[in-house]
Amino acid sequence: MRYWRFTIIIVAFTAWGMSSLAAEIDNFQFRYNPLKDEKNTINAWANQEFQNALRTANRSSKPCNEKALFKSLKRSFKNHYTDRFTRKLYKGKGLVSRKIPFKHSIYRDFDGGDSIVIGIMAKVYDSASPVVNYNGHQIGTDKFEHFFGRGRAYYDMIHKEGKSVLDALNFGLSSEENFLGAVMTGIMSYADLAANFKGLFFWNHILMKYPDPLEFEKPSGPYVICSRGRWVQNTSIDFSIYIDDSWDEAVNCSKFRTKELAEKVFKVQLSYEQLDPAHKYTCPVMAEEAVSLHAKFGQYAPLLFNLGPVYLE
């Protein structure tokens, strides 16, 4: 009996620690209320932190040590537990943002049987991240954690372990279908998967050693070059080449673990439309944009963008 109690406690705390990464935002409610474009602020924060990371990397005893470079950058751009940049975004301080508590969101009707994170843990600690306007795109700041963390994992799988892009994307899809997504939250976020994929481009652009997996992105790298034995920033970071509406759950539709969960969300979305009949609140809110983005992902589209169905079963 004690063993099972101990196991439950360990699982609960593990899930709690991951909940901020797994929790989903409501990108529908109030989406038509204007938000200030925070592109310049976010880019500025990123470039400041990038410079800090380069200073740390240059303390290595070896000139232009690539291992030290990526180790330092990984510490600076990973998740809100370990670095200042994503922590700033997660807290939303200094940004004009929108944050909707789970109890008032499209997931308000989820109970403990539907979602451990939203139905139970969020009632004690609401881990939803804020939504910001970045260059006209409404995205949850949690997407940057996917962009950096999972994007780096994809980069390592492909360029260090010799796996294919499809291997990496299938790994991400499996994670969203299971413990990091649908199992814990009831939700499988394709917007998370799109952010993961775009992170692969970012990490490749650090030194620009490999071709991008798709050519529709405008290469921005290399961000770093070796000059006189030291790493120096070659070009400024501008996330606008990576961020588009595929990061937006209201355009890149999530799937739900069951039909019943999908119906609970759909009911709330319809209630938004009843209050504001001039606007659409069911996914995708911009159908033509969604179809266009789906096409841009080419052969990888089924693993990154969802036009339907809305549940896994």
Task: Identify the pLDDT of residue 83.
Answer: 83
Confidence bin at 23 (pLDDT 50/70/90):
low
Domains identified in the chain, total number: 1
Q: What is the pLDDT of residues 100-131, one digit of tens each?
A: 988 899 999 999 888 888 878 877 777 788 99
Phi-psi region of 87 (alpha: psi -120 to 50; beta: other; left: phi over 0): alpha
Whether 143 is in a domain gets the answer yes
Q: What is the pLDDT of residues 43-98, one digit of tens each?
A: 999 999 999 999 999 999 999 999 999 999 999 998 878 888 998 898 888 999 99
Mean pLDDT of the chain: 89
Q: What is the pLDDT of residues 186-241, one digit of tens each?
A: 899 999 999 999 999 999 999 999 999 998 667 677 999 999 999 999 999 999 99
Residue-level length of the chain: 313
Percentage of the chain beyond pLDDT 90 is 72
Instruction: Output the six-digit token pair for 129.
Output: 């991240």
Is pLDDT larger for residue 73 or for residue 20? 73
> CA-CA distance, 25 to 189, in Å (whole number)?
10
**Other Cβ atoms within 10 Å of 40 Cβ, number:** 11
> CA-CA distance, 31 to 35, in Å (whole number)?
9
Specify which residues 37 forms β-bridges with. 133
- Please state the rounded mean pLDDT for residues 22-33: 86
Q: What is the pLDDT of residues 257-278, one digit of tens each?
A: 999 999 999 999 999 999 999 9
Three-class DSSP category at 256: strand
Whether 20 is in a domain gets the answer yes
| pLDDT beyond 60 at 13 | no
| pLDDT beyond 50 at 11 | no
| pLDDT beyond 50 at 10 | no
- Residues 251 and 282 sit within 8 Å (Cβ to Cβ): no
Three-class DSSP category at 122: helix
- Residues 233 and 51 sit within 8 Å (Cβ to Cβ): yes
Place of tokens 């804020």: 130
- Residues 64 and 231 sit within 8 Å (Cβ to Cβ): yes
Whether 309 is in a domain gets the answer no
Place of tokens 């291992």: 67
| pLDDT beyond 80 at 19 | no
Whether 308 is in a domain gets the answer no
Would you call 80 exposed, middle or buried from its count of C-beta atoms within 10 A (0-12, 13-18, 19+)? buried
* Domain that includes residue 16, residue range: 2-303
Q: Which helix (H) or strand (E) holds 163?
A: none
Three-class DSSP category at 292: helix
Task: Identify the pLDDT of residue 50.
Answer: 97
Percentage of the chain beyond pLDDT 70 is 91
> CA-CA distance, 138 to 284, in Å (whole number)?
13
